[in-house]
Structure formats: structure tokens, C-alpha cells
Amino acid sequence: MLDMFSFMIFGSVEAMNNAAHVLEVIDATLDKLDGIEHADMIDKDGKAISLQNADIAFRDVTFSYDTVPVLRNISFSIPQSSTTAIIGPSGSGKTTICNLIARFYDVDSGEVTVGGENVRNMTCDSLLRNISMVFQKVYLFHDTVENNIRFGNPNATQKEIIEAAKKAQCHDFITALPDGYETVIGEGGSTMSGGG
């Protein structure tokens, strides 16, 4: 089975600052997709495709929000199992790139491929089961660090939680907290400091 591809955007030092914002993002995404009807429309011409790899490629992609151009003739590739940081000032298209990979929007021209398949040829399910997005604004609940991490997978073992924290390069920071993974953090991360 293909490992889930994770794609991270680094845009601010406050990356751990906000996971209910994710709920807002989901609501906004559903609004953008016009709910189930848009997903059904995507699936109408899409095929359930089983990917052999998770390489991502943009080929001569141009995209505009209404009449405002955001990306012009962008081409790049991201090999599976690599770490890629997309950096740039606010409004430079970092989030738009992620939205196009997940097909929250369709390109004006060019193509976006995952595993060599044009995302326009895939059903929502066959595309999104291969993508995991970490948004810039992540909300932290008033709970332990461990339970905040477990939010993404309620059945995760402690070993899996620690492994996820290590992959996110947070393990050392967490173990330095007064109660480590059992440290209770304030709503929205209010008891945490982003550093200075």
C-alpha cells in the first residue's frame, strides 16, 4: 500500500500556534466545493485510480482567482518521500499550490499530477486518500500535548504519537515541557510561546 504523502508549507514561525482552525478550513473548503454536489461533479468524470507512487508535478500551471492571476506558467516536481518547503511572502501562492494539488480548484492551464496521474482524471477519494496537508494555522485544544497530536488519529498508540512528533521535529521541545507529552496546553496554544 502506498504510504500517505505529506506535504508541508512553511510560512511562519508560529506553525504550532493554532488544529480548530482546521475545522474552519474544512468548512471553507466545503463552501468552495459547493458541498457534495461539486465533489459529485468531480467524480462524474474521475476514475478510482490506485497510484504507484506519490510524486507530485506541476507542468506549466497557470491559475487565477476570478481575474486575479496568482500563478503563471509554474513547473516543478516533488519526489515521493522528500521534504519540500515552499516559502514566500503572503499572497505569493503557497496555499494556492496546495489547493491545486488537492483539487480544491482546477488549473486554468497546464496540469498537476500525483503519481503521474493528472488530478483531473481522479475521483476525490482516490486523490485525497494519498494527500495529507498540514496547514499553516493549526489550532491547539485545551488538552494534553499527546491528545492534541492524537486528534489526527484517535487510535494512535503512544509510540506512534512520539514517532509523529519526531518526524515533525517537535519531540525534543515536547520532552522539555514540564510534563512532557502529558503537559496540558491552553486553548489555541495560549500557554505556549512561539519563541522570539
In a domain, 79, yes or no: yes
What residue type is 29 in one-letter code? Answer: T
Residues 157, 66 within the same domain: no
Residues 169, 101 within the same domain: no
Predicted confidence at residue 57, as pLDDT, reads 94
Domain holding 167, by residue range, is 143-189
Strands 131-134 and 5-8: parallel
The C-alpha cell 513547473 sits at: 75
Residues 86, 149 within the same domain: no
Residues 52, 122 within the same domain: yes
C-alpha 160/C-alpha 150 separation (Å) is 9
Dihedral of CA 89/91/92/93: which sign? positive
State the total domains in the chain: 2
Q: Exposure string (b/e) for 74-113, b if CB count within 10 Å is 16 or more? A: beeebeeeeeeebeeeeeebbbbbbbbbbbbeebeebbbb
C-alpha 44/C-alpha 31 separation (Å) is 19
Residues 55, 125 within the same domain: yes
Among candidate residues 87, 105, 133, the one where a domain is terminated: 133
What is this structure's pTM? 0.52
Residues 101, 173 within the same domain: no
Q: Which helix (H) or strand (E) holds 158?
A: helix 158-167
Residues 27, 112 within the same domain: yes
In a domain, 183, yes or no: yes
Q: What is the pLDDT along the chain (196 residues), one digit of tens a residue?
A: 334 344 444 433 333 434 444 445 555 555 554 444 445 555 667 677 777 888 899 999 999 988 888 999 999 999 988 888 888 887 888 889 988 998 888 999 999 998 888 888 888 777 877 777 666 565 677 888 898 888 778 888 999 989 888 887 888 988 998 899 999 886 544 445 444 3
Cell digits for 108?
Answer: 486554468
Predicted confidence at residue 137, as pLDDT, reads 60
In a domain, 195, yes or no: no
